[in-house]
Chains A and B, each alone.
Chain A
């Protein structure tokens, strides 16, 4: 099967806006809800997720096409991808710790969590199913990460106002109202879908 005929810029924009990994594909919702309480942490986690997804999609593309496919071990791909993700996260942790302790202080606690963030594995499984070529995979990876980052920043900004509001019914406070907010954001992002159509 050949790579789909998609040029890079539309793919990048589509992965940020129209098929946003979070608002359209529901990936990475758990950490999204728990971390978005705090604006600064959202920034850190968003940056970390973007980096990890971008790097992992590049590595996983190579692993998929030069290791998994030639050996015919597609049935092991989940395990291999998870190991790659865990390895990248560990490496990134060590590199950041070595070269930028201040960044490590900011990102440190989020990095281990990213291993089990479904957005990372989700992006990699998407690029496997859609058969992207190397450049498309990297662009799709960074774009999806950036889309996740954008939506967590937007939600964190909304929540800093929202959590001060006392008019919310008690039963809806916290997670409930956050989910409804995400629903409205998803509706707003659907508005972009006429602009670029990339699957």
Chain B
């Protein structure tokens, strides 16, 4: 597998930021009761992660170890400010609804996690791809959760009515607890799927091919906040 494809495979599935690294569920659970807000949030996180990883990977030899954390946070907040200004200019309604959660992309653990675990040890181009892969890996999970929550909580998708008049909205889906339950269920499904795939791989091939140095550098996530 080429390094680029490997990075995407890891970000989207085998090292998915939500299922495997359990990062970044902090601020963004709050926006998943509405599909369009979620889409905007996912775009923002993907952009900030990719650009942040790219920049930090370029700078990695110039940053003294002692101030590394603060430099990372500053670089990441630079990109988040760009996202915030763009949103305020072009999507003021969504920006208002998201409220503090746009600014909170800065402290989204995925950004710091990827900067620490991947960008600090890899080339800029690959780090950029890794950021995109992780943003999308995080995105598809969030979008599926938002799909369920908006559909059942409001009876709409992207604001368009799906069910007829007789539909009673599931109020719990709009409120906080359902987000936790749905993430837990998604995690459960992912774990079952993964266990089955592993069992299958064991039967067909007694020994899995050795993991390369790349995955070794990418798998631990020390910046779990």
Contacts and interface: CB of A to CB of B under 8 A. Distances in A.
Interface of A: 23-31, 33-34, 75-79, 82-83, 86, 112-113, 115-118, 120-122, 125-126, 128-129, 169-172, 175-177, 179-180, 182-184, 186-187, 190
Contacts of A118: 26-27, 104, 107-108, 225
B170 interface: no
A172 B191 contact: yes
B132 interface: no
A171 B188 contact: yes
Interface in B155-188: 175-181, 183-184, 187-188
B27 A112 contact: no
A117 B73 CA distance: 12
B80 A26 contact: no
B100 A125 contact: yes
Contacts of A30: 22-26, 109, 224-225
A50 B176 CA distance: 22
Chain B contact residues: over half helix, strand or loop, or mixed? helix
B181 A180 contact: yes
B220 to A, nearest CB: 13
A79 B77 contact: yes
A82 B26 contact: no
Interface residues of B, number: 46
Nearest to A112: B69
B151 to A, nearest CB: 19
B223 interface: yes
12 contacts: A26-B25, A29-B25, A31-B225, A78-B103, A82-B77, A86-B73, A116-B73, A116-B223, A125-B104, A129-B100, A169-B188, A186-B177
Contacts of B108: 118
B184 A183 contact: yes
Contacts of A78: 77, 80-81, 84, 103, 106
Contacts of A175: 22, 184, 187
A118 to B, nearest CB: 4
A121 B103 contact: yes
Given A28-B26, A171-B195, A186 B176 contact: yes
